[in-house]
Amino acid sequence: MRILVINVNTTASMTRAIGAQAVAAASSDTEITAATPRFGPASVESIFESHLAAVGVIDCAQRQAEGHDAVILAGFGELGREALQEMLDIPVIDITEAAAHVACLLGKSFGVVTTTDRAIPAIEDRLLIDGLRSRCVGVRAVERPVLEIGDDLALTVDEIVRVGSGLIHDEGAEALCLGCAGMAGLSQRVSDVLHVPVVDGVAAAVRLAESVHHLGLRTSKIRFYAPSPDKAIAGWRFIPSAGDETSGDG
């Protein structure tokens, strides 16, 4: 099968890291396409940026989803999954929900380690809407900007361990989710220290996308995710029609 993994930000090096993590997690017969939106923020660290990123992701999916069997939204706690589910016939998995679903299979409760304190309410809201909040004992932040996560991985691991340890001992978390696509690849190192399952959202999403695809299941189209009505979109340049892929930039 072919999975399109869409990074929510426009930093190509982060797309590459996410893609590598997806490939590492995927079955051997799964082909991964890692895509970067044509526009949007270099990292997504605010609500404003999450909105811009969501339309970048929508644009990216419109242009690139064809030929794939599933799409992954690779932004932890970010907006846009429901729009993709509405827009596409193939399954769409958000790394936030993927991490939480998998964590529920492994521990009685889980915690989330994310980047910055200001991102916490958005993650909590996503879990609440997705009906996954009752087993989440807390979301805590390492207080590092997204784009610095990869600068010094040893330091990042140390910080995730420190924050994760608090979730385990203060809040009773039995499993952890890494709450940033930029933390992809660090789960094993954190788990080695903390001795709890540590779930990487990108990896989890790849396996769940495979699962849903091979089960022959697709998004329900009878109500919330029914196709959007066909309608004039005034002044909207970057949603190109087929064969017009430069109009958004031009």
Partners of 138 in beta bridges = 111
Residue pair 114/94 in contact (Cβ under 8 Å)? The answer is: no
Q: Rounded to the nearest whole angstrom, what is the least distance from the CB of residue 48 to a copy of itself in the complex?
A: 4
Q: Rounded to the nearest whole angstrom, what is the least distance from the CB of residue 107 to a copy of itself in the complex?
A: 4
Kindly tell me which of 45 and 159 has the beta carbon lying closer to a copy of itself.
Answer: 45
The CA-atom distances, in angstroms, between 39 and each of 76, 91, 206, 238 are 19, 24, 24, 9
Q: Rounded to the nearest whole angstrom, what is the least distance from the CB of residue 14 to a copy of itself in the complex?
A: 12
Kindly tell me which of 235 and 243 has the beta carbon lying closer to a copy of itself.
Answer: 235
Kindly tell me which of 233 and 242 has the beta carbon lying closer to a copy of itself.
Answer: 233
Kindly tell me which of 31 and 82 has the beta carbon lying closer to a copy of itself.
Answer: 82
Handedness of CA 109, 112, 118, 119 (dihedral sign): negative
Residue with tokens 């932040």, as numbered in its chain: 141
Rounded Cα–Cα distance for residues 219 and 209 (Å) = 12
Question: Is 216 exposed, middle or buried, given 0-12, 13-18 or 19+ CB atoms closer than 10 A?
Answer: exposed
Q: Rounded to the nearest whole angstrom, what is the least distance from the CB of residue 25 to a copy of itself in the complex?
A: 6
Residues 64, 67, 69: CA angle, nearest 5 degrees: 100
Q: Rounded to the nearest whole angstrom, what is the least distance from the CB of residue 168 to a copy of itself in the complex?
A: 7
Kindly tell me which of 17 and 137 has the beta carbon lying closer to a copy of itself.
Answer: 137
Residue pair 39/11 in contact (Cβ under 8 Å)? The answer is: no
At 110, give phi and psi (nearest 5°).
-140, 160
Q: Rounded to the nearest whole angstrom, what is the least distance from the CB of residue 31 to a copy of itself in the complex?
A: 16
